[in-house]
Chain A
Amino acid sequence: MLFTDSVFIIGLCVLAAVYFVIPKKTRWGLLLLASCAFYAYSGWTNLLYILTTAASTFGVTLAMDRMAAKRKETLTAHKADWSKDEKKAYKEAANKKRFRLLVLCLFINFGMLAVIKYGAFTVKNLNSLIGVFGGEGSIPVPEFLLPMGISFFIFQTMGYAIDVYREKYAAERNFAKLTLFVSFFPQLIQGPISRFDELSKGLFAGSGFEARRVLFGVQRILWGYMKKMVIADRMLPAVKVLISDPEQYRGMYALVGILFYGLQLYADFTGGIDITIGIGQVLGIPIAENFNRPFFSKNITEYWRRWHITLGTWFKDYLFYPVSVCKPMINFSKWSRQKLGKNIGKYAPVYVSTVAVWFVTGLWHGAAWNFIVWGLMNAVVILVSERCTPLYQKFHKKFAWSNTHAYDGFQALRTFLLMGCLRMFDCYRDVPLTFKMFGTMFTDWNVGIFFDGSLMNLSLTASDYAVLLTGTAVLFIASLLGRKGSVRKQILDRSPLLSCAVTVALLLIVVIFGAYGIGYDASQFIYNQF
């Protein structure tokens, strides 16, 4: 089910109405029911995956919790009679057991994800490899239908399991409540990847009706629909045309593709997240922000701090730091300092961790080489950019004009284009073709397409361009205003009547200028595929 399906929109209205009528204590139950129904709509069997994740995590986290309690109890009981070493040895042994349980949970869930999402990719590559060495390479390729949002709910739930292992908070003792955390429907399609301690409070509290909050929520939902239906879906046919025939659409067309796809992806992904956060706001459930005006970033590191924030922090907290401080990495660090010299030795572990994280980030986006290369290219750009930081600092010190707003704008544009080039791997889904198309931007200098009306042959009419330009301008202005705080709050503070008018206007804009219905492709959210 898509956020843009009429069934979803009607269901959401009914849910919101019922939610505020039933007793507070039972509201989380209604959300669980709605989440199960939402997921089951895409196939009853898909519920099995969510239940497997919920059940395995519930069992393991409870056991880890009990073991931690027992460890604490034993240590307290032997506070006086055990030596420091005895205590340490006991603690290590107890934690080892807990760690084994955590590994079991990670193995079940990431194993399930690996088989379903990466099984076919792995076997195909194995077959190719066997073929290279003269074998037949005929291992049957497993075919699985990718359950909706599986990467999102598994990552979110494993984050919870690791947090319980780290004793950041206690395990949830109600299976149904944990299942709700795993399956909360607005997040299932494309995240964000929430943390249990942040999400659970609102999820289980059953907040009451608060007009201001509900109004803000509705405005956020409509804003999300505006981005998705008016901008992203209207842009879709042009992006499809540009990608579908790389032989024809080369050179400057590839540049146009970078711009169009960048805008489409932004409007699509942030639009979906706006709808998710808006639903949460209506129901009184705070959901983590996933974007912070990413296209205003001055460099790629900053960009990744502002784009898909929850995925970035997940990798940082649960992969980058653990990998950086794990025993083999410490050993590698020592070895590299001895063998490669102080300078390289100092950075080598960071480089290895960064490359590992970006390799996994690429793989998370899809079981294909284009995503892996995309991830690795990100790592390369980030590392090179970090190595060059002292040079940038010198440059900024020397040239005062490099500290102006105009230069900030240049940096933002540069980052946008750089990220656009990297996104070409996502567009063309073919590594050699991506490099080829990138090359054509410098070899096929067909700048005439910007003036001879060629852009009118990309399945977009003059009116489509007018809507897209206006929509993009509105997004840009809203982003600028957003730097001073919530735009919705600014409008409401100015006048409640204006706030109501904006809501009605947004509704009209979505209904009239949205690209939906007959003549338009019902497109799913791009991040839904991941």
Chain B
Amino acid sequence: MTKGKILLCGTGMAAASVLLLAAAQRLLMPKYMGDVVEGNLVADYYDSGYDHDVLFVGDCECYENFSPVTMWQEYGISSYIRGSAQQLIWQSYYLLEDALRYEKPDVAVFNVLSMKYGEPQNENYNRMSIDGMRWSQSKSDNIKASMTEDESYLSYVFPILRFHSRWNDLCADDFTYFFGAEPNFFSGYFLRADVKPAENVPTGRPLTDYAFADTCWEYLDKMRTLCDETGIKLVLIKAPSVYPYWYPQWNKQIEEYAEKYALPYINFLDEDLMAETGVDLSSDTYDGGLHMNVYGAEKLSHWFGAYLSRTFSLGDRRDEPQLSAHWREITERYYAEIARQKDNLEKYGNVKGEQKPEE
């Protein structure tokens, strides 16, 4: 064989390997279109148009408790929730840092529940929080900070090394959504229209140590500094989810921190504030008080939107044609989804439209 042919063969073989491995990776990575859809939240941001006044970062208490559509419709505030399941504080920090590569919001809102986790927790949640990120220094740092003992950095660079064994679990969704998932969210909001009242919510068991881990304070400091340096106002919140239990000792530490650095801190669990927002835990939650349903999220967003407009003088942007068009599409999908879920509730007793097995 001539040198040219050898080079051609070698290049062809390398190219075929890369292409086939990329295709296999695409096929084998979870599509998160079935029961667990939250895995698509982080990647969803990159289709959001990058024009937001307010950016939420945090866990499920963020992406299930606030409705950006309400804030747009009522106050003309363009907002986005960069949240994912059990999103740890450093993940919130790196997702905020990542978002700042694309846009500069006026306000960043951080839900403080994740201050309770000082160490990497769960590989599945890490995957949902990190795999959807585009490659950047922030993603790389996020991986290093989040990895549990069994994980490897390389498996984030090449997710096929993690998901290769899914060949055994491939389903129709993996082929249907090979080229990308369908939008499931509404500017980062995960919508649920069913109701399950909060009853018999357990109070927290006494802890031996209520102090937040140093790592958490370190990342809260980093988040504050990042916002300071970029001229973004940071707001700390605790969503009105009654479980996991939010200890008064934890609340006090956040209050002291907020006071020290003159940051607004809103604890929606405060009884007076809850009354003011109108959130009713007997009708505004879909899972017994862990997360709001769409009715609770709308009430909360109604109050919070007003607060944000008032406190940070956020202008009403509903007259901006391009942005309005973007939000019109989200709003239409939003109401269609509410209607679909209501319809399913009526017909099948659940929002997913799953038929109950015959008795």
Q: Which residues of A contact B (CB under 8 A)?
A: 6, 211-212, 461, 463, 496-497, 500-501, 503-504, 507-508, 511-520
Interface string of B1-43 (1 = CB under 8 A from A): 1000010011011001100110010001000000000000000
Is A517 in contact with B167, judged by CB distance below 8 angstroms?
Answer: no
* A6 in contact with B154 given A507-B17, A512-B164 (CB within 8 Å): yes
Q: List 16 A-B contacts (CB under 8 A).
A: A6-B152, A6-B154, A211-B9, A496-B9, A503-B13, A504-B17, A504-B20, A507-B21, A508-B21, A511-B164, A512-B24, A512-B28, A515-B165, A517-B152, A517-B164, A517-B165
Is B155 in contact with A517, judged by CB distance below 8 angstroms?
Answer: yes
Is A518 in contact with B123, judged by CB distance below 8 angstroms?
Answer: yes
Is B10 in contact with A511, judged by CB distance below 8 angstroms?
Answer: no
Q: Looking across the interface, which residue of chain A has its beta carbon closest to that of B15?
A: A504
Give chain A residues whose Cβ lies under 8 Å from the Cβ of B165. Answer: 515, 517, 519-520
> Complex: how many Å from CA A212 to CA B9?
11
Give chain A residues whose Cβ lies under 8 Å from the Cβ of B154. Answer: 6
Is B10 in contact with A211, judged by CB distance below 8 angstroms?
Answer: yes
B17 to chain A minimum Cβ distance, whole angstroms, is 5
> B160 at interface (Cβ–Cβ under 8 A)?
yes
Known contacts A511-B24, A515-B165; 13 additional CB pairs below 8 A are: A6-B154, A211-B10, A504-B20, A508-B17, A511-B21, A512-B167, A513-B164, A516-B161, A517-B155, A517-B162, A517-B164, A518-B123, A518-B150
B174 to chain A minimum Cβ distance, whole angstroms, is 13
Q: Looking across the interface, which residue of chain B has its beta carbon closest to that of A9?
A: B154
Give chain A residues whose Cβ lies under 8 Å from the Cβ of B162. Answer: 517-518
> B151 at interface (Cβ–Cβ under 8 A)?
yes
Is B164 in contact with A211, judged by CB distance below 8 angstroms?
Answer: no
Give chain A residues whose Cβ lies under 8 Å from the Cβ of B150. Answer: 518
> Complex: how many Å from CA A461 to CA B169?
12
B191 to chain A minimum Cβ distance, whole angstroms, is 32
> B168 at interface (Cβ–Cβ under 8 A)?
yes
Give chain A residues whose Cβ lies under 8 Å from the Cβ of B6. Answer: 211
Q: Which residues of B contact A (CB under 8 A)?
A: 1, 6, 9-10, 12-13, 16-17, 20-21, 24, 28, 123, 150-152, 154-155, 160-162, 164-165, 167-168
Give chain B residues whose Cβ lies under 8 Å from the Cβ of A461. Answer: 168
Give chain A residues whose Cβ lies under 8 Å from the Cβ of B151. Answer: 518
> Complex: how many Å from CA A6 to CA B16?
22
Q: Looking across the interface, which residue of chain B has its beta carbon closest to that of A518?
A: B150
> Complex: how many Å from CA A9 to CA B232?
45
A282 to chain B minimum Cβ distance, whole angstroms, is 13
Is B13 in contact with A504, judged by CB distance below 8 angstroms?
Answer: yes
A448 to chain B minimum Cβ distance, whole angstroms, is 27
Q: Looking across the interface, which residue of chain A has its beta carbon closest to that of B158?
A: A511
Is B17 in contact with A514, judged by CB distance below 8 angstroms?
Answer: no
Give chain B residues whose Cβ lies under 8 Å from the Cβ of A503. Answer: 13
Of residues A212, A461, A507, A518, which shows the largest number of chain B Cβ atoms within 10 Å of its Cβ?
A518
> Complex: how many Å from CA A411 to CA B162?
43
Is A517 in contact with B20, judged by CB distance below 8 angstroms?
Answer: no
> Complex: how many Å from CA A344 to CA B152?
63
Contact partner, A517, options B17, B21, B161, Cβ 8 Å:
B161
Give chain B residues whose Cβ lies under 8 Å from the Cβ of A508. Answer: 17, 20-21, 24
Q: How many A-B residue pairs have CB under 8 A?
A: 57
Contact partner, A496, options B1, B28, B161, Cβ 8 Å:
B1
Give chain B residues whose Cβ lies under 8 Å from the Cβ of A515. Answer: 165
> Complex: how many Å from CA A519 to CA B21?
21
Give chain B residues whose Cβ lies under 8 Å from the Cβ of A463. Answer: 168
B105 to chain A minimum Cβ distance, whole angstroms, is 36
Give chain A residues whose Cβ lies under 8 Å from the Cβ of B28. Answer: 512
Of residues A497, A501, A503, A517, which shows the largest number of chain B Cβ atoms within 10 Å of its Cβ?
A517
Give chain A residues whose Cβ lies under 8 Å from the Cβ of B164. Answer: 511-514, 516-517
Give chain B residues whose Cβ lies under 8 Å from the Cβ of A211. Answer: 1, 6, 9-10
> Complex: how many Å from CA A517 to CA B153?
12
Give chain A residues whose Cβ lies under 8 Å from the Cβ of B24. Answer: 508, 511-512
Q: Looking across the interface, which residue of chain A has its beta carbon closest to that of B27?
A: A512
B73 to chain A minimum Cβ distance, whole angstroms, is 43
> Complex: how many Å from CA A309 to CA B252?
72
Is B167 in contact with A513, judged by CB distance below 8 angstroms?
Answer: yes
Is A511 in contact with B13, judged by CB distance below 8 angstroms?
Answer: no
Give chain B residues whose Cβ lies under 8 Å from the Cβ of A514. Answer: 164
A481 to chain B minimum Cβ distance, whole angstroms, is 22
B125 to chain A minimum Cβ distance, whole angstroms, is 13
Q: Looking across the interface, which residue of chain A has its beta carbon closest to that of B127?
A: A518
Q: Looking across the interface, which residue of chain A has its beta carbon closest to that of B155?
A: A517
Q: Looking across the interface, which residue of chain A has its beta carbon closest to that of B124?
A: A518
> Complex: how many Å from CA A461 to CA B13?
33
> Complex: how many Å from CA A461 to CA B6?
42
A382 to chain B minimum Cβ distance, whole angstroms, is 43
> Complex: how many Å from CA A500 to CA B16?
10
> Complex: how many Å from CA A461 to CA B167?
13
> Complex: how many Å from CA A496 to CA B154?
32
> Complex: how many Å from CA A517 to CA B20?
20
Contact partner, A504, options B16, B155, B167, Cβ 8 Å:
B16
> Complex: how many Å from CA A508 to CA B23?
11
> Complex: how many Å from CA A212 to CA B10?
11
A510 to chain B minimum Cβ distance, whole angstroms, is 9
> Complex: how many Å from CA A134 to CA B55?
80
Give chain A residues whose Cβ lies under 8 Å from the Cβ of B21. Answer: 507-508, 511
Give chain B residues whose Cβ lies under 8 Å from the Cβ of A520. Answer: 165
B130 to chain A minimum Cβ distance, whole angstroms, is 14
* A511 in contact with B1 given A461-B168, A518-B150 (CB within 8 Å): no
> Complex: how many Å from CA A516 to CA B150?
11
> Complex: how many Å from CA A512 to CA B29?
12
> Complex: how many Å from CA A129 to CA B146?
54
> Complex: how many Å from CA A501 to CA B150?
34
Closest 10 CB pairs of A and B: A211-B6, A500-B13, A463-B168, A6-B154, A512-B164, A504-B17, A504-B16, A518-B150, A512-B167, A507-B17
> Complex: how many Å from CA A517 to CA B13?
26
B264 to chain A minimum Cβ distance, whole angstroms, is 41
B159 to chain A minimum Cβ distance, whole angstroms, is 10
A461 to chain B minimum Cβ distance, whole angstroms, is 7
B148 to chain A minimum Cβ distance, whole angstroms, is 9
> Complex: how many Å from CA A519 to CA B163?
11
Of residues A463, A496, A508, A512, which shows the largest number of chain B Cβ atoms within 10 Å of its Cβ?
A512
Give chain B residues whose Cβ lies under 8 Å from the Cβ of A501. Answer: 16
> Complex: how many Å from CA A507 to CA B161?
12
> Complex: how many Å from CA A515 to CA B168?
12
A12 to chain B minimum Cβ distance, whole angstroms, is 14
Q: Looking across the interface, which residue of chain A has its beta carbon closest to that of B25?
A: A511
> Complex: how many Å from CA A516 to CA B165?
9
Give chain A residues whose Cβ lies under 8 Å from the Cβ of B168. Answer: 461, 463
Give chain A residues whose Cβ lies under 8 Å from the Cβ of B160. Answer: 511-512
> Complex: how many Å from CA A503 to CA B150?
30
> Complex: how many Å from CA A463 to CA B166?
11
Q: Looking across the interface, which residue of chain A has its beta carbon closest to that of B152?
A: A6
B10 to chain A minimum Cβ distance, whole angstroms, is 7
Q: Looking across the interface, which residue of chain A has its beta carbon closest to that of B163?
A: A517
> Complex: how many Å from CA A512 to CA B12?
21
Give chain A residues whose Cβ lies under 8 Å from the Cβ of B10. Answer: 211
Of residues A461, A503, A508, A513, which shows the largest number of chain B Cβ atoms within 10 Å of its Cβ?
A508
> Complex: how many Å from CA A516 to CA B123?
16
Q: Looking across the interface, which residue of chain B has its beta carbon closest to that of A515?
A: B165
B25 to chain A minimum Cβ distance, whole angstroms, is 9
> Complex: how many Å from CA A504 to CA B21?
9
Give chain A residues whose Cβ lies under 8 Å from the Cβ of B20. Answer: 504, 508
Q: Looking across the interface, which residue of chain B has its beta carbon closest to that of A508?
A: B20
Q: Looking across the interface, which residue of chain B has its beta carbon closest to that of A209?
A: B6
Give chain B residues whose Cβ lies under 8 Å from the Cβ of A513. Answer: 164, 167
Q: Looking across the interface, which residue of chain A has its beta carbon closest to that of B12?
A: A500
> Complex: how many Å from CA A45 to CA B13?
42
> Complex: how many Å from CA A508 to CA B13?
12
> Complex: how many Å from CA A463 to CA B123?
24
